[in-house]
Amino acid sequence: MATTDTAVLIPAYDEEPRIEAVLDVVCGMDDLSIVVIDDGSRDATAERALQYPVGVVQHRSNEGKGAALESGMIYVGDARFWVFLDADLINLRREHIRQLLRPLREDADMGMTVGQFVEGTKHVDWAQRFFAILNGQRALSDAFARSLPGLGWSRFGMEVFLSRFAAHSGWPVGEPFLPGLTHHTKESKMGAARGVWARLSMYRECLSAMRRWRNHLSEERRTALSADRCRILQEVEGKGASQG
């Protein structure tokens, strides 16, 4: 793909009932190249995404959030700015994406922004306030993105690693407020028992990344999408294509 101004990557796993609310917003904006990475979903997440003019890359099995974003970056290739959005957001507005990008556009030295939820759902706001390092709504400069090592190992620890890597490497990080934005909790998506188990699994992966992030500073990055791991269901221009 040719260099684009802003690439929006949306990793998704079993988000069929929720992803359209996110795509309705981002697809209404100009000058964005949008890619959904279906991380081996068991539902019709990919089919929902195929209804929109976005690229759709599908992993053949669940590899985790870090690997999904890495696949999206490989697929896009080059962009001035990168935006990472979760597929289960509630009340996403165009202004939220502009807020993520604004510090990067105004300060060429800034490497990344990490969105801060405010005035959304009370318990989600509370969690984001004290554990902002876990927030998945981020924007990256091209220079910062190019400096990253491989992310495929990180799963839900991806955000932890990005923040630790930025601090370690001396990249300035902005924290814009995203008023009214929140997301579906795992408990609301899966039910209490399964949701709690999924949340604990996520926390384990995050804690593992906190302990091990230095071990991955030289992690090799993938440079190509392999047909045995994923396939391209739809090109970002909206033209259908497949691999493997």
In this predicted structure, the answer to whether residue 241 has a pLDDT above a threshold of 90 is no
In this predicted structure, the answer to whether residue 3 has a pLDDT above a threshold of 80 is no
CATH superfamily of 4-234: Spore Coat Polysaccharide Biosynthesis Protein SpsA; Chain A (3.90.550.10)
pLDDT digits (tens, 9 = 90+) for 74-117: 999 999 999 999 999 999 999 999 999 999 999 999 999 999 98
Question: What's the rounded mean pLDDT across residues 177-187?
Answer: 91
Q: What sections of 37-121 are H helices per DSSP?
A: 45-49, 65-76, 94-106
The rounded distance, in Å, linking the Cα atoms of 70 and 149 is 10
Phi, then psi, of 234 in degrees rounded to 5: -155, 130
Indicate the pTM of the whole model.
Answer: 0.92
pLDDT digits (tens, 9 = 90+) for 55-72: 999 999 999 999 999 999
The rounded distance, in Å, linking the Cα atoms of 139 and 85 is 9
SS3 for 125-144 is HHHHHHCHHHCCCEEEEHHH
The rounded distance, in Å, linking the Cα atoms of 204 and 195 is 14
Cβ neighbourhood burial of 214 (10 Å; 0-12, 13-18, 19+): exposed
pLDDT digits (tens, 9 = 90+) for 225-236: 999 999 999 998
Q: Domain limits of the chain?
A: 4-234
- CA 1 from chain centre, in angstroms, equals 20
